[in-house]
Amino acid sequence: MNADTPGGIPLERIAAIFEAERESYVSLHPRSLALAGQGIAGFYQGVPMHWMRDWSMPFPFVVESARGAVLTDVDGNEYADFCLGDTGAMFGHSPPPVAEAITRQAGKGLTCMLPTRDALEVGRLLAERFGLPHWQVATTATDANRFALRVARAVTGRPRILVFNGCYHGTVDETFVRLVDGRPVNRPGLLGQVTDLTELARVVEFNDLPALEAALAHGDVACVIAEPVMTNCCMVLPEPGFHTELRRLTRAAGTLLLIDETHTISTGPNGYTGAHGLEPDLFVLGKPVAGGVTASVWGFTEDVARRLDAVRAQTPPGHSGMGTTLSANALSLAAMRATLEQVMTPQAYAHMDGLAARLAVGLQRVIEQYEVPWHVVRVGARVEFICAPGPLRNGTEAEAAHAPALEQAIHLALLNRSCLIAPFHNMMLVSPATTAAQVATLCDAFESVIASLALDLESWQ
Ligand SMILES: Cc1ncc(COP(=O)(O)O)c(C=O)c1O
Please tell me if the CB atom of residue 140 comes closer than 6 angstroms to any atom of ligand 1.
yes
Please tell me if the CB atom of residue 287 comes closer than 6 angstroms to any atom of ligand 1.
yes
Distance 455 CA to ligand 1 centre (A): 38
Give the residue whose CA is nearest to atom 15 of ligand 1: 169
How far apart, in whole angstroms, are the C-alpha atoms of residue 248 and residue 59?
49
The total of other beta-carbon atoms located within 10 Å of residue 203's CB is 24
| Three-state SS annotation for 232-295 | CCCCECCCCCHHHHHHHHHHHHCCEEEEECCCHHHHCCCHHHHHHCCCCCEEEECHHHHECECC
Distance 170 CA to ligand 1 centre (A): 4
Please tell me if the CB atom of residue 286 comes closer than 6 angstroms to any atom of ligand 1.
yes
Position in ligand 1 atom list of the atom nearest CA 296: 10
Question: At CA 115, angle to CA 113 and CA 121, rounded to 5?
Answer: 150
Give the residue whose CA is nearest to atom 7 of ligand 1: 141
Distance 313 CA to ligand 1 centre (A): 32
Least Cα distance to 423 among 432, 438, 434, 412 occurs for 412
| pLDDT at res. 1 | 62
Hey, what's the torsion of the CAs at 104, 109, 111, 116, to 10 degrees?
Answer: -70
Least Cα distance to 136 among 315, 274, 345, 304 occurs for 304
Residues 279 and 247: beta-carbon distance below 8 Å: yes
Least Cα distance to 267 among 87, 440, 49 occurs for 87
Cis upstream peptide for 228 (omega within 30°): no
Alpha carbons within 13 angstroms on the beta-carbon side of residue 243 total 19
Please tell me if the CB atom of residue 164 comes closer than 6 angstroms to any atom of ligand 1.
no
Give the residue whose CA is nearest to atom 2 of ligand 1: 169
Can you give the pLDDT of all 461 residues of the chain as single tens digits? 678 899 999 999 999 999 999 999 999 999 999 999 999 999 999 999 999 999 999 999 999 999 999 999 999 999 999 999 999 999 999 999 999 999 999 999 999 999 999 999 999 999 999 999 999 999 999 999 999 999 999 999 999 999 999 999 999 999 999 999 999 999 999 999 999 999 999 999 999 999 999 999 999 999 999 999 999 999 999 999 999 999 999 999 999 999 999 999 999 999 999 999 999 999 999 999 999 999 999 999 999 999 999 999 999 999 999 999 999 999 999 999 999 999 999 999 999 999 999 999 999 999 999 999 999 999 999 999 999 999 999 999 999 999 999 999 999 999 999 999 999 889 999 999 999 999 999 999 999 999 999 875 555 44
Give the residue whose CA is nearest to atom 13 of ligand 1: 170
Distance 84 CA to ligand 1 centre (A): 14
Please tell me if the CB atom of residue 141 comes closer than 6 angstroms to any atom of ligand 1.
yes
Please tell me if the CB atom of residue 235 comes closer than 6 angstroms to any atom of ligand 1.
no
Please tell me if the CB atom of residue 56 comes closer than 6 angstroms to any atom of ligand 1.
no
- For a substitution probing ligand 1, which of 167, 261, 272, 287 has the most ligand atoms within 8 Å of its CB? 287
- For a substitution probing ligand 1, which of 169, 229, 230 has the most ligand atoms within 8 Å of its CB? 169
**Tens digit of each residue's pLDDT (9 = 90 or more) over 38-56:** 999 999 999 999 999 999 9
Distance 169 CA to ligand 1 centre (A): 5
- For a substitution probing ligand 1, which of 84, 168, 259, 429 has the most ligand atoms within 8 Å of its CB? 168
Please tell me if the CB atom of residue 138 comes closer than 6 angstroms to any atom of ligand 1.
no
Please tell me if the CB atom of residue 139 comes closer than 6 angstroms to any atom of ligand 1.
no
**Tens digit of each residue's pLDDT (9 = 90 or more) over 336-394:** 999 999 999 999 999 999 999 999 999 999 999 999 999 999 999 999 999 999 999 99
Give the residue whose CA is nearest to atom 5 of ligand 1: 170
| pLDDT at res. 271 | 98
Residues 56 and 420: beta-carbon distance below 8 Å: no
How far apart, in whole angstroms, are the C-alpha atoms of residue 95 and residue 348?
11
- For a substitution probing ligand 1, which of 147, 263, 293 has the most ligand atoms within 8 Å of its CB? 263
Distance 30 CA to ligand 1 centre (A): 33
Give the residue whose CA is nearest to atom 14 of ligand 1: 170
Distance 284 CA to ligand 1 centre (A): 10
Q: Which of helix, strand or coil describes residue 388?
A: coil
